[in-house]
Amino acid sequence: MDPSIQKRVQELHDKLNQYNYEYHVLDQPSVPDSEYDQLLNELKEIEQQYPELITEDSPTQRVGGAVLEQFSKVEHRTPMLSLGNAFNEADLRDFDRKVRQAVGDNIAYSCELKIDGLAVSLRYENGVFMQGATRGDGSVGEDITANLKTIRSIPLRLKNPLSIEVRGEAFMPKSSFVKLNEEKEKREEAAFANPRNAAAGSLRQLDPRIAASRNLDIFLYGIGDPGETGINSQSEGMQLLNENGLKTNPERKTCGTIEEVIDYVNSWVEKRAELQYDIDGIVIKVDSLSQQEELGFTAKSPRWAIAYKFPAEEVITILHDIELSIGRTGVLTPTAILEPVRVAGTTVQRASLHNEDLIREKDIRLGDHVIVKKAGDIIPEVVSVITDRRTGDEKEFTMPTHCPACDSELERLEGEVALRCLNPKCPAQIQEGLTHFVSRNAMNIDGLGEKVIAQLFKENLIEDVADLYRLTKEQLIQLERMGEKSVENLLTAIEASKKNSMEKLLFGLGIRHVGAKAAKTISEHFRSIDKLREATVDDLLQIDEIGNKMADAIVTYFENEEVQELIEELRENGVNLTYTGPKKERMESVESAFTGKTIVLTGKLAQLTRDEAKEKIELLGGKVTGSVSKKTDLLVAGEDAGSKLTKAQDLNITIWDEQQLIDEITKQEV
């Protein structure tokens, strides 16, 4: 092959990437569209003639080829946690107070617009875009690389050969949303309710060409493991993203006080309507990474960040009826059935009424005109009644005295406002529990949705979760809409779920206060359901992030004889009861140079990957963190160590090279 052809291909790559960056990231195109198209066509022609020159990061590879059969799973190297919420100035001040109590008054906050889209992660290896994934449950997402490649503001190659995972929010601009819905109306298809749903729906298409046609965009807002980059703050991280051609939101601001934060928040309450994309709040983060490290995390969210949600939108509609349902914990929940109304970008027909006390307090009657509010993801709720609009035809609502599902007497436990059915055999509770058990974040049994669970329950084929593992082909084939292939797939999914790691089962059991993140933390610690069953409240409280309520709930749950019988039935049916995730047990009997120490890794390691080094240090009793602070005991410096090494020297922290690390690990393994 003529070397000049390879040279021309590289020239085309460089020019097209630069023009693409100017147009889609900077919004400052330097050439007309016709010139960009001409160069792109030239590159396509060369690649058709010389297919061996096609690379993953070629500008021609924005729209993937074959339609996917399904999305594969991606485990996030660093969990993508959700944020705690603030709804008013008092919540922000409370957040600030807790931060200052923990790290002192010398703090700065990084404030960023909260884009209303789909959270995603992008992984680059040596500067090349290798994989993109949805947030999923925070630990495991879906591989949507082909669809993300169609977003032209995502560079297929960074300006520097970094290996880095970045997080951001993919979204649909308002103009793209309007155009998409106009096209849907022409085809007499149902329109999308809002840009967020449209963006999420576009990125979860198995055909990348659909995503490509919808003109999505993205703003990047963070780095998965900032400890790998040498940066010391969130604001430095955003600068690093910009320097490498990644698109960040320019409207961010670093504030020195909570007063500045509140002023920034208030300034956007009205201005948000002027933006060409939807935002539903402001994200406030402690800027310093070392202070973030010091503040740490709860089981669900970081203590160093909070999401301020904009005030809810309120509308007026008519309340036609109140529907009652029993949840898996036995709580009776009243739900308002409304005249359909548009609020906060979606059509609302149902709204929460919470409990009997609220209905009485607000004097809610059937037929009332009511004010309904909704903000972002928050479930719509009835705020108040417009009594001036009453005609006299409205009817008072009376809560039942007995469970609508099993007719057991409803009770109100001491200290609770909710009515509760205490019958452990209540079919509504069992059915809700079964639906939770098979859900994606629990045992993840594909094909077992609410309707199939309801069918199985109605036909008396299941009474508890153990019964799922006794189902046969003969039983399932009799059900409506269950063909041979559906039955085979369902039985395969049930069989596969037996191999799930303990945390999936623990979350699926539906113990009060135990979410998916806490279930994993507990499972990593105890390693088996049997050991967890023997644990006391004090044993559980030794685990970071586990509080009294959760500990009490777990101990009480496993003391129940019916629960103990259920566990044995699951065991007999081949369900795994042990933790099979990455081994993180420390070698308690071994005393090493890492025991009880806080260690930071920096620079490039030649003999170990960073993940391997971290795992080995933790096995030997150490704790690996991402940033250097006064609490750091040891810094391991590889090649090209930068600002962390300098900071460690300034703080007189012990510094090792990689060989000293290897020697200590080898000494303990011998």
CATH number of the domain that residue 248 is part of: 3.30.470.30
Is residue 95 domain-shared with residue 223, that is, in the same domain? yes
643 CB contacts (<8 Å, ≥6 apart)? 230, 231, 232
What pLDDT is stored for residue 670 in this prediction?
Answer: 46
Is residue 441 domain-shared with residue 388, that is, in the same domain? no
Pairing verdict, β 217-223 and 164-171: antiparallel
Tell me 547's DSSP state.
-
If you average pLDDT over residues 489-504, what whole number do you get? 94
* 244 within some domain: yes
Rounded Cα distance, 419 and 398, in Å? 13
* 420 within some domain: no
Kindly report, residue by residue over 79-103, the tens digit of the pLDDT. 888 888 898 899 999 999 999 999 9
Rounded Cα distance, 114 and 239, in Å? 18
Please list the helix, strand and coil fractions of the chain in percent, rounded to the nearest 5, in that order: 40, 20, 40
The pLDDT-based confidence of 619 (bands split at 50, 70, 90) is confident
Domain boundary among 572, 606, 633: 572
The two tokens of residue 160 are 């520097």
Rounded Cα distance, 663 and 659, in Å? 6
Is residue 96 domain-shared with residue 174, that is, in the same domain? yes
Helices (H), 384-449: 427-437
pLDDT above 90 covers what percent of the chain?
42
Is residue 364 domain-shared with residue 476, that is, in the same domain? no
Kindly report, residue by residue over 552-584, the tens digit of the pLDDT. 989 998 998 888 999 999 999 999 999 987 655
CATH number of the domain that residue 8 is part of: 1.10.287.610
Pairing verdict, β 410-411 and 395-396: unpaired
Cβ atoms 418, 426 nearer than 8 A: no
Q: How many structural domains does the chain have?
A: 5
* 422 within some domain: no
Rounded Cα distance, 522 and 514, in Å? 9
pTM of the model: 0.59
Rounded Cα distance, 253 and 278, in Å? 19
What pLDDT is stored for residue 375 in this prediction?
Answer: 64
Dihedral pair phi/psi, residue 498, rounded to 5°? -60, -25
Q: How many CB atoms lie within 10 A of CB 250?
A: 11
435 or 192, which is more confident? 435
* 106 within some domain: yes
Kindly report, residue by residue over 372-415, the tens digit of the pLDDT. 987 655 678 898 999 999 999 999 999 899 999 888 888 887 77
Q: How many CB atoms lie within 10 A of CB 207?
A: 15
Is residue 229 domain-shared with residue 351, that is, in the same domain? no
Domain boundary among 373, 396, 419: 396
Question: Exactly one of 7, 44, 114, 584 is catalytic; which is it?
Answer: 114
Is residue 98 domain-shared with residue 8, that is, in the same domain? no
Taking the CA atoms of the chain, what radius of gyration do you get in angstroms?
Answer: 28
| Cα distances (angstroms) measured from residue 482 to each of 475, 477, 577 | 10, 6, 30
Q: Would the pLDDT of 334 be above 50?
A: yes
Is residue 274 domain-shared with residue 340, that is, in the same domain? no
At 215 the three-state DSSP class reads coil
154 CB contacts (<8 Å, ≥6 apart)? 122, 129, 132, 148, 218, 246, 247
Is residue 481 domain-shared with residue 541, that is, in the same domain? yes
CATH number of the domain that residue 392 is part of: 2.40.50.140
Amino acid letter, residue 141: G
What pLDDT is stored for residue 35 in this prediction?
Answer: 84
* 525 within some domain: yes
Domain boundary among 276, 304, 332: 304
Q: Would the pLDDT of 531 be above 50?
A: yes
Rounded Cα distance, 429 and 422, in Å? 10
Question: Shortest CA distance to 478 belongs to which of 496, 454, 461?
Answer: 461
Is residue 374 domain-shared with residue 273, that is, in the same domain? no
Is residue 238 domain-shared with residue 364, that is, in the same domain? no
Rounded Cα distance, 594 and 616, in Å? 10
Does 114 qualify as catalytic in the annotation?
yes
Rounded Cα distance, 629 and 6, in Å? 48
Is residue 117 domain-shared with residue 158, that is, in the same domain? yes
Q: Which domain holds residue 352?
A: 313-396
Is residue 482 domain-shared with residue 609, that is, in the same domain? no
DSSP string, 44-98: HHHHHH-GGG--TT-GGGGS-SSPPSSPPEEE-SS-----EEE-SHHHHHHHHHH
Q: Would the pLDDT of 243 be above 80?
A: yes
* 53 within some domain: yes
* 258 within some domain: yes
Rounded Cα distance, 294 and 61, in Å? 43
Mean pLDDT of the chain: 87
If you average pLDDT over residues 161-182, what whole number do you get? 92
CATH number of the domain that residue 459 is part of: 1.10.150.20
Rounded Cα distance, 151 and 154, in Å? 6
668 or 170, which is more confident? 170
Q: In a 10 Å sphere around its CB, with 0-12 CB exposed, 13-18 middle and 19+ buried, how is residue 350 labelled?
A: middle
Amino acid letter, residue 56: E
* 69 within some domain: no
Q: Would the pLDDT of 636 be above 80?
A: yes
